[in-house]
């Protein structure tokens, strides 16, 4: 790994780096990923957009489980990996940051201008009038509608803020509608089966096009949503560096590949980059 990290340091030191992050960068903050080594989440079936919009019972089940899980996401603190990315940005080495995560931890760790491809759990959108409100506001309304609801018993929280609850706990849960129009509320995140907003995708492609290198952090690249940017970079001859625990579906595209815990690896990377002599 030492040789790989040295190669990675040399690549990043040249600047102009576009960063793409996945759930693996947040596991050290206590948020498990879907496919990495953090385990429980790999048995989780995420909510799909079609189920959420078409099935009122599924929506109630989602909001009950999310009402429990969201507070764990909200309390999560940025880890060394998030802080290292912010440091690299502060050094002027990054062209920009694109994340597939919905936890807001890059911003909490000091990064700015983050393109949140899949949205953010901290916001709620009405599917009818499109009004966007803070999740904390909805949280207060759900508490008022469900006095005495137990949010303390959590075995594991998934990257989408969902948890497992017994059927009897879900059965009595009351959802609330949009305070502005009475419409259906949804977390302002992209569910499985839902398209990523076009403007975010185009902005991410523009970032990759303008970059000198693409650095992928904590993503297995198992789904097209993230892998397409790696494929695009490789086709354009833009070097791709991947740091992830475990294999990815784009390892064959990588110019540099590091398999290591992200917190320690990125901390060392930021330290080594800043220590290099400047011309």
What residues are labeled active site?
Answer: 118
**Which architecture, in CATH terms, is 2-275?**
3-Layer(aba) Sandwich (3.40)
pTM over the 0.85 mark:
yes
∠ CA 144-146-147, rounded to 5° = 75
10 alpha-carbon distance from chain centroid = 27
Binding residues: 100-103, 126, 129, 178, 181, 218-220, 244-246, 262
The pLDDT score that the predictor gives to residue 279 is: 58
- Over residues 146-161, mean pLDDT: 69
Flag whether pLDDT at 153 surpasses 80: no
Flag whether pLDDT at 5 surpasses 60: yes
Binding residues for Zn(2+): 126, 129, 178, 181
**Residues 6+ positions from 96 with CB-CB distance below 8 Å:** 18, 19, 113, 115, 207, 211
Flag whether pLDDT at 80 surpasses 60: yes
pLDDT band for position 158 (cuts 50, 70, 90): low
Q: At what angle do helices 262-275 and 80-90 cross, to 10 degrees?
A: 20
- Over residues 136-154, mean pLDDT: 86
∠ CA 19-23-70, rounded to 5° = 125
User: Taking the domains of the chain in order of start, what are their residue ranges?
Assistant: 2-275
> Where would I find the H helices in 114-223?
135-145, 167-171, 198-210
The pLDDT score that the predictor gives to residue 171 is: 83
Mean pLDDT of the chain: 91
pLDDT band for position 55 (cuts 50, 70, 90): very high
The pLDDT score that the predictor gives to residue 1 is: 57
- Over residues 260-276, mean pLDDT: 94
- Over residues 197-216, mean pLDDT: 98
**Residues 6+ positions from 43 with CB-CB distance below 8 Å:** none
Stretch (H or E) spanning 215: strand 213-217
The pLDDT score that the predictor gives to residue 32 is: 79
Contact (Cβ atoms closer than 8 angstroms) between residue 119 and residue 99: no
Flag whether pLDDT at 41 surpasses 50: no
Flag whether pLDDT at 15 surpasses 60: yes
Q: What percentage of the chain has pLDDT greater than the value 70?
A: 89
The pLDDT score that the predictor gives to residue 168 is: 74
Question: Can you read off the two tokens belonging to residue 180?
Answer: 């502005």
Flag whether pLDDT at 44 surpasses 80: no
Binding residues for NAD(+): 100-103, 218-220, 244-246, 262
Flag whether pLDDT at 39 surpasses 50: no
Q: Which of 60-74, 162-176, 235-249 has the highest mean pLDDT?
A: 235-249
Q: Scan for tokens 């999740």, then name that residue.
A: 135
Flag whether pLDDT at 156 surpasses 70: no
Q: Which residues pair with 215 in a beta bridge?
A: 19, 241
- Over residues 193-203, mean pLDDT: 96
Pairing of strands 115-116, 119-126: unpaired
């Amino acid at each position: 790994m030492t040789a790989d990290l040295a190669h990675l340091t040399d690549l990043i030191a040249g600047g102009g780096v576009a960063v793409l992050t996945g759930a693996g960068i947040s596991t050290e903050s206590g948020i498990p990923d879907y496919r990495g080594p953090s385990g429980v989440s790999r048995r989780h079936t995420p909510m799909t957009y079609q189920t959420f919009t078409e099935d009122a019972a599924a929506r109630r089940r989602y909001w009950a489980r999310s009402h429990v899980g969201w507070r764990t996401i909200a309390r999560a603190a940025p880890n060394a990996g998030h802080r290292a990315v912010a440091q690299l940005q502060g050094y002027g080495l990054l062209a920009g940051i694109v994340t597939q995560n919905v936890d807001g931890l890059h911003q909490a760790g000091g990064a700015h201008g983050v393109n949140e491809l899949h949205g953010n759990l901290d916001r709620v959108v009405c599917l009818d009038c499109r009004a966007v409100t803070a999740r904390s506001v909805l949280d207060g309304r759900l508490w008022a509608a469900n006095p005495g609801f137990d949010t303390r018993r959590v075995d594991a929280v998934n990257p989408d803020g969902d948890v497992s609850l017994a059927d009897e706990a879900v059965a009595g849960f009351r959802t609330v509608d949009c305070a502005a129009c009475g419409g259906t509320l949804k977390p302002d995140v992209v569910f499985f089966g839902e398209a990523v907003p076009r403007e975010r995708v185009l902005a991410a492609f523009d970032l990759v096009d303008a970059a000198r290198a693409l650095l992928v952090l904590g993503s297995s690249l198992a789904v097209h949503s993230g892998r397409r940017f790696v494929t695009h970079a490789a086709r354009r001859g833009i070097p791709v560096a991947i740091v992830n625990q475990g294999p990815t579906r784009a390892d064959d595209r990588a110019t540099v590949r590091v398999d290591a815990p992200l917190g320690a690896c990125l901390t060392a990377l930021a330290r080594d980059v800043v220590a290099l002599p400047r011309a």
